[in-house]
A and B are shown apart, each in its own frame.
Chain A
Amino acid sequence: MISSLTSAKVIICVGSGGVGKTTVASAIAFQAAEEGKKVLVLTVDPAKRLKTTMGLSDTEDMVQIKHPSLTGELWAAVIDNKKTFDDFVRRAAAKAGGNVDRILKNRLYIQLSTTLSGSQEFTAVEKLYSVYESQKFDLIVLDTPPAQHAIDFLVAPQKLSELFNDNIAKWFREPGTKGVGIFTRLVQTGTKQVMKALENLTGSEFIGELADFFRDVEKWQTRLEERTSAVHRLLVGEQSHFVLVTSFDEAKLHEAEQFSKEIRKGGYRLSAVIINRAYPSGLRMNVTPGLDLQFSAKSSTDLERAYMKTQNYYRDRDQIFEKFFIRMGREAQVLRLPELESDVSDLGGVEKMARELKA
């Protein structure tokens, strides 16, 4: 286990798309299960990458992954975004005695629950929280949804809850206790023009749906707020550790530094930065410089020249890493993983990556 993560009960793997978050999350979980823990790796993944990687045939529920070297238990689950969101709404609305079907059929709700930025992140932490509450696992590793930027994961649920926290939602709601409806209110407060402009842009049908939506949403608003703050407490708690997975290029490393600042500002714990596929596994990165001199242009063979070209390239890249390491090394444990000999697209690959994490 990565030393900075030994005490973790929740590990959240964040990072922008295409950096290998899913495989790293799986490898961390695999390693912990090898050490005897009961581990769940959890992912929201439209591309069903975890499914491929872990060789799962079923995405519905938790599935146990068997492997001879696991002394503990390794479980995996792919979060169904729409289902988790619907389940949450159903529970919340039922508690408040609302008409669940009408919410689930609202066209805006349908869009909101599946395509809206923030909904995947919301369902990810929602599922994480409910599994954590069940206390069935020693460790839960969350592979966060693919995002453009690592920070999106933390920003998105906030954005979503603003919709409900903000007084805005009240604008669109039915009378409530004060007996003032949306259009009355708008006229009263003198923003008729705004509504008119909005209608010009979107059409009156859209505004109607919007009003319906907010009216229904009120029923699960409190529950959502409660949940959001409980999840926040979990994520900033000392049992939760963030791991940033990044690929090796200057822009991505720059983003990693920004992210580390942001995450600390938010009170979260960034424990490790994993630079994935930093160099091909066969390449010697620490050769003595003198060795290179043995290859003179004339005497060297095609293979030697190919090796030199590749090595020079990765060495140039390594200077970028050195700079990064000096700046980041104090903040979090920094690890470099080589590009593995074969694609990590099955359990064998995950096992190999787990070995690299140990090394």
Chain B
Amino acid sequence: MRDVAIVGANMLKFGRYPDKDVVTLASEAAIAALKDAGCAMKDVEIVVSGNLYQSNAMIGQRIMKEIGATGVPVINVANACATGSTAFREAWMSVASGAYDVALAIGSEQMGKMGLLGGDAASREYSTEGVMGTGLMPGVFGQAGVEHMRKYGTTQEQFAKVAVKNHKHSVNNPYAQYQIETPLEDVLNARPIAWPNTLYMCCPTGDGAAAAVLMSADKARQFTSKPIWVAASVLTSDPYTPRNPVMFDINTLTRNASKEAYEKAGIGPRDLSMVELHDCFATAELLHYENLGLCGDGEAGRMIDEGETYVGGRIPVNASGGLLSKGHPLGATGVANIVEIAWHLRGEAGARQVEGAKAGLAHVIGLGSACTIHILKK
């Protein structure tokens, strides 16, 4: 595999765009990324588009028709919440393999105000929701957190501290859907959604788009003096574990992915300057501290208690505000995480800048399940 650089990276502020359609959002993000790269559609040799809810609607080609239908290959990707990061990985693979020199990865989603529950799947007559347990995401991630409580005595308050941190970080991120600080008391007293997660411990739905331009090393040198290198791009699915998929196992595939990513990048968790991880619910974040090797098993509660994952702490996690505040337009999320890390590595992250950032890890998990990890280096 060849070295691949991120040369352009950009995103729209996540939020609600009722007056625009998803192709427009994706097109705006793509144009912004191309501009950031200093190149144009005519330079792009392959396009990979991630979109989940309209995965049968040829969003990638529709973007091309909007911004420049050059006739190059377009791949449409759907992979649950890992849709955007899988699209990025396909773009990376296209260049790393030597088949193409310039690839454009775009992630987009328009969810509107569909709420936490998504679609109407649970209204079917034979739906088991609420009569034979839960398959709704808040409850599923509630159970995942409760498993950590069972193993290590982790408390609801420790999970709530994740929300306090990420909402605090979001105040410095103008691209975040919400920029509202939530003190611990407010988080704990917020409306319960699925215990132990309260409203402020759940990511919002919304609209958004993000894009990245990837190039081979030779090509990158023609366009930028600040390439960001993709040191590892890993995708895993959930291997057999006895309770999966009755209880989605979000841990094993993340552990497998992080092990492989560190090996490929030739660095370990202690070499990371920052992490953007998949905090769809506050409970998930603590589990991933351990899954990504940021601390030992059972130490995640202590880690958040001691503030180690704040910007300025030992290893900042979700400096962007995370999914909890930045938002989680499904197909856009995975690309946006990578954009965020790239900005920090270039020193362009504004008030939330992790000082001296040299290497960062972007983690995404989509239930069902898919996990991507990208390690980026200066």
A pairs with B: no
List A residues at the B interface (Cβ < 8 Å): none
List B residues at the A interface (Cβ < 8 Å): none
